[in-house]
Amino acid sequence: MSLTPTKSTELLIDGQLVPGSGGAFDVINPATEEVIGQAAEATAADLDAAIEAARRAFDTTDWSRDHAFRARCLRQLRDALKGHTEELRELTVAEVGCPVFLTHGPQLDGPIDDLGYFADLAENYEWTTDLGVAKPMGIKNHREIRSEAVGVVGAITPWNFPHQINFAKIGPALAAGCTVVLKPAPDTPWCAALVGKVIAEETDIPPGVINIVTSTDHGLGAQLTTDPRVDLVTFTGSTETGRKVMAAAAPSLKKVFLELGGKSAFIVLDDADLATACSMAAFNVVTHAGQGCAITTRLLVPRDKLFTATELTRDALAGLAAGDPTASGTICGPLVSARQRERVEEYLQIAVAEGGTIECGGGRPADQERGYFISPTLISGLSNSARVAQEEIFGPVLVIMAHDGDDDAIAIANDSPYGLSGQVWGTDPARIDRVVSGVRTGTMGINGGIWYAADVPFGGYKQSGIGREMGVAGFAEYLETKSVARPA
């Protein structure tokens, strides 16, 4: 089987690869602006069939009870995908515009490997916990707690790290015994659809257990949130859409699990190595052109070091120019779409209108005639109440601000509706620890520490989300708890 999509990808519904009832839509390479193929355009009727298949597979097969079979299927999927890694790498860079170096980590190789972690969980999880005997109401009872799959999962994902986010939902949901309908973002249909092709053609995953429905119609996401046959909606995307998902899921009282936006702080303490910290802050914000929810986009430095830190960060950003994502040295590729680039450009105008200074970058690079590129940008001269310091931009844009000591840095970091991630740089372990515990976010890195791994839970405080993805906590999101007792 060749993975190279020469014409168009298909939907995966009830084990069959089928065309979209709505025809097909164009897939665009963000680095060249060229149409590189098509993806199947699903309609509401296609999604309805996918939900029905997932419901039937959950209700009428042993999928949710057969832990060993699910582990085998997940490992089979991982191994089948590994057989296509280089084709997947090429098409992921072409469709997402992500730098190829990232595909050796969280954009491809990492998420494929992570399927093995979820297979191990299916096999080794303590599905039943024996609580022993107790005497409720004076009668001896033997009690146990069982974990069971939630049911049909509607998974809605964004475009920025498609494999990572798709597999962080599919992996634990299948391991838990759920069945899934995945609706990926319209910007990155191939990453999902080609996984669907591998599932259909190279695995024993039964029909209906996983269904993949690509579409340009956001209404299909909304349909997943309201359909009563769906038991849980797992959503990654913007906080604005997350609110809609939660509200729409309320009438049918679905479980809702949300991974949303961020505006994370990179805190430099006064005993940190300033040059190293500033170059890491620059590197972070240009990675995948800043299109990562956990990327640190506010740089907080000691007030007496603001001038030097601004110069250091500006110099570091100058060495990280936006460019061809297929080149091995590129860190900052294009933004995913013209729409996303316009959004970033609007924020750059807002920054200037609010009195900010563009220290470097600030627009499209002169040397890139095509592609949705924005030059790495540093903004100074604004306080934390500025819109570019409060709102998620999702581009290679860093806002540098001064703090007046550790507690002030914590307060500025927390002065945000978001609470997803952060970094602290310093040398005194006690001061670092105080900052780590003071910042209200779901993840924190110390001196460049990288928390991303299959066994590490990821998610947000405050308006960055509800629930955790990855790790045992992420797996448990897809489980119900059943308490059982019998007379002893």
Residues binding ligand NAD (CB under 6 A) = 156-160, 165, 183, 185-186, 218, 221-222, 225, 236-238, 241, 244-245, 259-262, 293, 392, 394, 420, 460, 465
Cβ closer to ligand NAD: 177 or 221? Answer: 221
Cβ closer to ligand NAD: 155 or 312? Answer: 155
| Catalytic residue, candidates 95, 259, 359, 477 | 259
Least distance between ligand NAD and beta carbon 155 (Å): 9
Task: Enter the tokens of residue 208.
Answer: 């209906």
Cβ closer to ligand NAD: 432 or 466? Answer: 466
Cβ closer to ligand NAD: 271 or 346? Answer: 346
Least distance between ligand NAD and beta carbon 150 (Å): 18
| Catalytic residue, candidates 98, 178, 191, 293 | 293
Q: What residue has token string 């996983």?
A: 210
Cβ closer to ligand NAD: 54 or 402? Answer: 54
End-to-end CA distance of the chain: 57
332 part of the active site: no
Q: Sheet of 179-183: strands edge to edge? A: 16-18, 11-13, 210-212, 179-183, 152-156, 232-236, 255-259, 465-466
Cβ closer to ligand NAD: 308 or 390? Answer: 390
Least distance between ligand NAD and beta carbon 471 (Å): 13
Cβ closer to ligand NAD: 63 or 372? Answer: 372
178 part of the active site: no
Least distance between ligand NAD and beta carbon 336 (Å): 8
Q: What is the 3-state secondary structure (H, E, C) of the chain?
A: CCCCCCCECCEEECCEEECECCEEEEEECCCCCCEEEEEECCCHHHHHHHHHHHHHHHHHCCCCCCHHHHHHHHHHHHHHHHCCHHHHHHHHHHHHCCCHHHHCCCCCHHHHHHHHHHHHHHHHCCCEEEEEEECHHHCCEEEEEEEEECCEEEEECCCCCHHHHHHHHHHHHHHHCCEEEEECCCCCHHHHHHHHHHHHHHCCCCCCCEEECCCCCCHHHHHHHHCCCCCEEEEECCHHHHHHHHHHHCCCCCEEEEECCCCEEEEECCCCCHHHHHHHHHHHHHHHHHCCCCCEEEEEEEHHHHHHHHHHHHHHHHCCCCCCCCCCCCCCCCCCCHHHHHHHHHHHHHHHHCCCEEEECCCCCCCCCCCCCCCCEEEECCCCCCHHHHCCCCCCEEEEEEECCHHHHHHHHHCCCEECCEEEECCCHHHHHHHHHHCCCCCCEECCCCCCCCCCCECCEECCEECCECHHHHHHCCEEEEEEEEEC
Residue 31 burial (CB < 10 Å; 0-12/13-18/19+)? Answer: buried
Cβ closer to ligand NAD: 71 or 245? Answer: 245
Please count the CA atoms within 13 angstroms of the CA of 150 that sit on its side-chain side. Answer: 24
Which residues does the annotation mark as catalytic? 259, 293
